[in-house]
Structure 1
Amino acid sequence: MNKQTNPASRTAKLYRMAMPDHLCPYGLKSKALLEREGYAVEDHHLTTREETDAFMEKHGVETTPQTWLGDERIGGYDDLRVHFGKETQDADETSYQPVIAIFSVAFLMALGLSWAMFGSILTLRGAEWFIAISMCFLAVQKLQDVESFSTMFLNYDLLARRWVRYGYIYPFGEAFAGILMVAGALTWLSAPVALFIGTVGAVSVFKAVYIDQRELKCACVGGSSNVPLGFVSLTENLMMIVMGIWMPLKVLVL
């Protein structure tokens, strides 16, 4: 980490776009980061396109913001993070953050519903809600861009490869089954849908990952996912299988 320690030198010069119709978000992030690191910021605004172009030509740079610490040009926001030893994430880097967010919020929502309905967070219905809400959230991720999802889905799903339209139907089926399971309604319809798509999905993922040993991105959280295909996607499908079996069984037993 190349961090300046001389108190007299802890002044940063920041040049960022601040136009009437565009306020650069990375410029604001750079300023906030510098201030958190204890720097006094000389904040220079580039207020027109012409001024910005002239600045970039003068300093031989292609982007703004640009930061100087003393006489050293650090660069843009990502360069500044690297300079201060902060983590940066490549756009193509795999990440579990989307599924962690989905399952965490679904879990907390299920606990909240359980508390509201039964006065306890540890209920069987709460566990059912957790899976059903997770299904709905995962379906929403796919439904944001069905075209991209279906394209990524074709990389590994066995049924979609035989019948391409299945890739477009899948997220609607997942949302449909999840919503009915949240309501506890029409189990005779929601359970077969969940069981079918869950089983096909589980077999497809298992074959692609554990038999063919392919390294693929998972379409489970949408068509722009950087989540690796494997345990998470298999878990999603197993959850649907469990619900597809449990919901009608509960009706028969209880």
Structure 2
Amino acid sequence: MATRTADHATTEKTATLYRMVMPEHICPFGLKARFLLRRKGYAVDDRWLKTRQQTDAFKAEWHVKTTPQAFIDGRRIGGYDDLRRHFGLTVREPGDTSYRPVIAVFVVALLMAGASLLAAGQPLVSPQLLSSFIAFAMCILAMLKLQDVESFSSMFLNYDLLARRFVLYAYLYPFAELLAGVLMLAGRLHAVAIPVALFIGSVGAVSVLKAVYIDRRELKCACVGGSSNVPLGFVSLTENLMMVAMALWMLAVASG
């Protein structure tokens, strides 16, 4: 029994982690690195750098620019990103494109649409689910753009045909999208919501088709705000076509 315990102790995976833990600052990447090491089955020798002087001295000793720094079997692995690479995990590089923001928007919008129908006692499997989903998605996308209208407008001007002729349109677009989405959810003022959604959706779809599929330009999409790395193309086209479809469906319902 004692031999088993000794064998277990000698085979236990251990790692040493140096991270900043100061009264005014606890490094978030240090916490992530410790969490990752423990998740991978390592017993962590957690060593705190409690002052700026200790941190600077550690960096100078190991010739590194940042902390935390992880060591496994006496070998320096590096910081949090290096640790992820060591374990074969993905690391997002600056400028990498990603559809994750858009996926998150659509999933949340769908969940909100379903929740609103359940709260109203309506069946989930119905045309109302799709219309509510589109309206919620429009509101969320507009909110993301409104976080930084200046950055959004700069990215939007790269490809939107109308905004290039009338720059003010780039600033008004998020407000128009939000207005149409809110009115659609409320089921009010169709005379405003339908033309707005139809107009901005149609102009947007034509602009994306020209920029991506005719001119073959590689651009970033402003659909989730001005700081996104979502490629312009299918996603932005889908956003605009959803608005057009929603406007036409509301028009058909109102006419019927």
TM-score category of the 2 structures, normalised to the smaller one = over 0.9
TM-score, with normalisation over the residues of structure 2? Answer: 0.94
Partner residue in 2 for 1:206: 209
Aligned runs of 1:95-114 on 2, under 5 Å?
95-114=98-117
Partner residue in 1 for 2:49: 46
CA contact (8 A) 1:188 1:248 kept: no
- Name the SS of the counterpart of 1:13 in structure 2: strand
Distance 1:252 1:69, change over 3 A: same
Distance 1:10 1:26, change over 3 A: same
In structure 2, distance between residues paired with 1:195 and 1:223: 23
CA contact (8 A) 2:12 2:43 kept: no
Shift of 1:112: 1.6
- Name the SS of the counterpart of 2:47 in structure 1: strand
Partner residue in 1 for 2:167: 164
1:20 matched to 2:29: no
Task: String of CA shifts for 1:134-183, please: whole Å, max 9, x gaps.
Answer: 00000011001000000000110001111111111000000000000000
CA contact (8 A) 2:69 2:78 kept: yes
CA contact (8 A) 1:10 1:38 kept: yes
In structure 2, distance between residues paired with 1:204 and 1:177: 20
TM-score, with normalisation over the residues of structure 1? Answer: 0.95
Of 59, 62, 66, which residue of structure 2 is paired with 1:59? Answer: 62
Match for 1:20: what amino acid?
P
1:236 matched to 2:222: no
- Name the SS of the counterpart of 1:44 in structure 2: strand
Partner residue in 2 for 1:129: 132
Range that drifts further, 144-153 or 9-18: 9-18
Shift of 1:248: 2.4
Q: Mark the runs of 5 or more structure 2 residues left unpaired by the alignment.
A: 1-8
Shift of 1:20: 0.6
Shift of 1:49: 1.1
1:148 matched to 2:148: no
- Name the SS of the counterpart of 1:244 in structure 2: helix
